[in-house]
Amino acid sequence: MRNIFILVLTLLLQPMSSHGEAGNTVEFTTPFPLDYPMSQKYRLLYTEAFGRMGYAFKLIAVPAKRAVALAANGGVHGEVGRIYNYRQGSGYYNLVRVEEEISQVEVVAYGIDSLGPFAGWTSLKDTNLKVGFHRGMKIIEINLSKVMNENNISRLVDIQSGLGMLTKGRIDIFIGVSSPTDNAIKSQFSNHGIRKMG
């Protein structure tokens, strides 16, 4: 299950001057809280890159589904990253993918200590397990829809909601991007028996 997916930068087909303070600020979205290490890394990277071109940079945290809508509708200049083939079938054909890889992330299944081993997406096939994920995480949604009954999938507003449901037994597995999910476990759920399953 430790699949690695490429995040790529998406930009709009419009001039930078249409956003920000008098066109001098480039605004991107992230689906993760701004204090998470992943968000801080992106903020530093893009602040430096756009600063060298004479632009200020602002990172805005919004849910993943809203992030792509904002980018597609011109509410922001782009997103810090998306899975490589996001545009295929998404309907967001005005987004432009920058081919340079920005980073890689690991998608991991999390469960409570009592759950057995987990060996990838196919481990979920033909089970009655309840699985949750951070709504808008497209690669997770795509893979879950291939192996699970829709009634057993919960799309959650954020990582904390998913981990909370996991600790209360409302879902059996939470699937998330490892870095921000590990961060949330460490800061808010460290004594709840949550572990990486694979």
3-state secondary structure 38-88: HHHHHHHHHHHHHHCCCCEEEEEECCHHHHHHHHHCCCCCEEEEEECCCCC
10 and 82 in a common domain: yes
What is the structure's pLDDT at 92?
65
CATH of the domain at 61: 3.40.190.10
For the chain, strand residue ranges (E) read 3-12, 25-30, 56-61, 78-83, 95-97, 103-112, 131-134, 153-156, 173-177, 194-196
111 and 95 part of one domain: no
Which pLDDT belongs to residue 85? 63
pLDDT for 11 equals 41
Q: Specify the DSSP element, H or E, that contains 198.
A: none
Which of 103, 131, 157 is at the close of a domain? 103
pLDDT tens sequence across 103-157? 777 889 999 866 666 788 888 888 889 999 988 787 888 889 899 999 999 999 8
Domain end marker among 103, 130, 149:
103
Looking at 77, 103, 129, the residue that finishes a domain is 103
Q: What pLDDT is stored for residue 116 in this prediction? A: 67
Question: What pLDDT does 139 receive?
Answer: 82
Which pTM value belongs to this model?
A: 0.70
- Predicted confidence at residue 150, as pLDDT, reads 92
pLDDT recorded at residue 130? 94
Task: Count how many domains the chain has.
Answer: 2
Same domain? 10 vs 70: yes
Within the chain, which residues score under 70 in pLDDT?
A: 1-23, 83-94, 113-117
Containing structural domain, residue 22: 3-103
- Same-domain status, 10 and 25: yes
pLDDT attached to residue 155: 93
